């Protein structure tokens, strides 16, 4: 691997304590690389570098920052194959999926290059006093970014790009399972023209200690996290001590509703995307599939055939559709969800067993007759398992879909647009996919409600997470 040390102030450095940890290929269970593990002293060095870089970066005009971000987009698109291979090696996802992620990740640089010149303010008159009201947006300050293992490239660029566009330096703590992709991005940002210290990367096995230390440094003003709701709650408690701006993209329990008037082929295609993108290891993955009883058999037969046709294996093999899960714990948790559902009456249509081979594989699995008491109905499966239930009444399925603490994304399939839009508006979710199984788009505000998070990533809203609004009352 090209880069396995910490990246601080534009330099590749060993951790202060000289400790390292292994990154494992989930398809082979072999070690890929030994990566430096950051300590508190390294975090302090990164904070110092970020503080020194911020005024240098903010001397650049919005257009100059935009051109650098656009250059990063161009460079990443030239090297998609390289990033896709890294993603597959450390995350396990199949080649096509990895290439899709790399392309999606690059697009955030282009989108926020365009947004960096559109942080519009306001000048108006106060109605009562006649004073001028001047409103402008300013960079909030140093941002700490904590990213997950399921999208090693995209979850980083989705935060780095708006932060740089807003004028904020960043310190990234990538997941210890998948730090190599983010480290590989740093030479590209250097080449694009990002100054030293504006982006720092601190892989570490001491995540709680290192991140908590940074969140209590007065120079840090933003915490942006993607991951589980449980960890998000802990970070919010730490962030409260410094009253940091939080951007939290947390867990999900996505319902996918197929009405009796749905185009079944379109619904199956959408469900395959919503369930199997990234092997189901996504907070946007369809977790509970509700199918109207009139079309259940037709949907299950076509959906099961599509799931069963997927080839499982090492993602570096171009013929493979489904790679391994990220680690043994994730695979074992998925298997436990299936075992629990079957014990409570669910029927396995296809899949449903751990293969006897090396690697953290679990086959695409479809279960029907899944009871409400099954654990997978209430918890994220985070794997290639589809849990199907039936419904007959519209109000009932909306109630069941909303009966969760989460509210990230939901999916609806119906050819009756009036009914479909009414259902979408009644769903307690930050995003809804209507007749499509993919909602993620750099141009759209990604995020949830309830226990699924705070703030939005992408869209115009994404840059505002890294900015503060200043109001000046003036007379002239």
Residues taking part in catalysis:
249, 283
Distance CA 55, CA 235 (A): 27
For residue 20, count other CB atoms closer than 10 A to its CB. Answer: 17
Give the number of residues written for the chain: 476
Distance CA 315, CA 327 (A): 15
Q: How far apart are the first and last CA of the chain?
A: 60
The CA-based angle 443-144-203, given to 5 degrees, is: 105
The answer to whether residues 456 and 434 touch, using CB atoms and an 8 Å cutoff, is: no
The answer to whether residues 156 and 172 touch, using CB atoms and an 8 Å cutoff, is: yes
C-alpha distances (whole Å) from 234 to each of 208, 211, 225 are 10, 11, 11
Distance CA 92, CA 143 (A): 29
Distance CA 159, CA 109 (A): 10
Q: Quick one: which of 151, 146, 61, 164 has its CA closest to 109?
A: 164
Distance CA 427, CA 410 (A): 8
DSSP conformation letters of 264-300: HHHHHHHHHHHHHGGGG-STTSEEEEEEETTTHHHHH
Q: Quick one: which of 460, 417, 476 has its CA closest to 116?
A: 460
The answer to whether residues 271 and 435 touch, using CB atoms and an 8 Å cutoff, is: no
Residue with tokens 């993603």: 87
The two tokens of residue 438 are 């993919």
| Longest Cα separation, the chain | 78
Which strands, in side-by-side order, build the sheet including 254-258?
347-350, 365-368, 385-391, 286-292, 254-258, 409-413, 431-434
The answer to whether residues 465 and 423 touch, using CB atoms and an 8 Å cutoff, is: no
């Amino acid at each position: 691997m090209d880069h396995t040390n910490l990246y601080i102030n534009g330099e590749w450095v060993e951790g202060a304590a000289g400790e390292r940890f292994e990154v494992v290929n989930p398809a082979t269970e072999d070690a890929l690389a030994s990566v430096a593990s950051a300590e508190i002293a390294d975090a302090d060095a990164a904070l110092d570098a970020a503080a020194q870089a911020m005024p240098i970066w903010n001397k650049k005009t919005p257009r100059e920052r935009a051109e650098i971000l656009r250059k990063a987009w161009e460079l990443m698109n030239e090297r998609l194959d390289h990033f896709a291979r890294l993603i597959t090696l450390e995350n396990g996802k199949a080649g096509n999926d990895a290439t899709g992620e790399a392309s999606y990740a690059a697009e955030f640089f282009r989108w926020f290059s365009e947004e960096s010149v559109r942080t519009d303010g306001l000048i108006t008159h106060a109605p009562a006093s006649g004073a001028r009201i001047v409103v402008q947006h300013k960079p909030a300050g140093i941002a700490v970014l904590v990213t997950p293992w399921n999208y090693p490239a995209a979850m980083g660029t989705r935060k780095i790009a708006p932060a740089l566009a807003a004028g904020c330096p960043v310190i990234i703590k990538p997941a210890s399972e998948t730090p190599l992709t983010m480290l590989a991005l740093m030479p590209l940002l250097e080449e694009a023209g990002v100054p030293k210290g504006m982006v720092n990367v601190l892989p570490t096995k001491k995540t709680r200690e290192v991140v908590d230390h940074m969140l209590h440094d007065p120079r840090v003003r933003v915490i942006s996290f993607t991951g589980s709701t449980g960890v998000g709650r802990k970070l919010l408690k730490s962030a409260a001590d410094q009253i940091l701006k939080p951007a939290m993209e947390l867990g999900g329990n996505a319902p996918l509703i197929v009405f009796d008037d749905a185009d079944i082929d379109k619904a199956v295609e959408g469900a395959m995307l919503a369930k199997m993108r990234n092997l189901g290891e996504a907070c946007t993955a369809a977790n509970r599939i509700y199918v109207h009883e009139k079309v259940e058999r037709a949907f299950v037969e076509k959906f099961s055939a599509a799931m069963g046709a997927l080839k499982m294996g090492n993602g570096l093999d171009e013929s493979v559709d489904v790679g391994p899960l990220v680690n043994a714990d994730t695979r074992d948790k998925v298997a436990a969800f299936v075992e629990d559902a079957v014990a409570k009456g669910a029927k396995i249509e296809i899949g449903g067993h751990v293969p006897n081979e090396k690697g953290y594989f679990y086959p695409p699995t479809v279960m029907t007759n899944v009871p409400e008491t099954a654990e997978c109905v209430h918890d994220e499966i985070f794997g290639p398992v589809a849990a199907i239930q039936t419904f007959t009444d519209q109000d009932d399925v909306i109630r069941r879909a909303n009966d969760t603490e989460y509210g990230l994304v939901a999916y609806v399939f119906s050819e009756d647009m009036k009914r479909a839009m009414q259902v979408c508006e009644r769903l307690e979710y930050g995003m809804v996919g209507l007749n499509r199984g993919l909602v993620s788009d750099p141009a759209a505000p990604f995020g949830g409600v309830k226990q699924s998070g705070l703030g939005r990533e992408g869209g115009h809203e994404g840059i505002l997470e890294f900015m503060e609004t200043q109001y000046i009352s003036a007379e002239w």
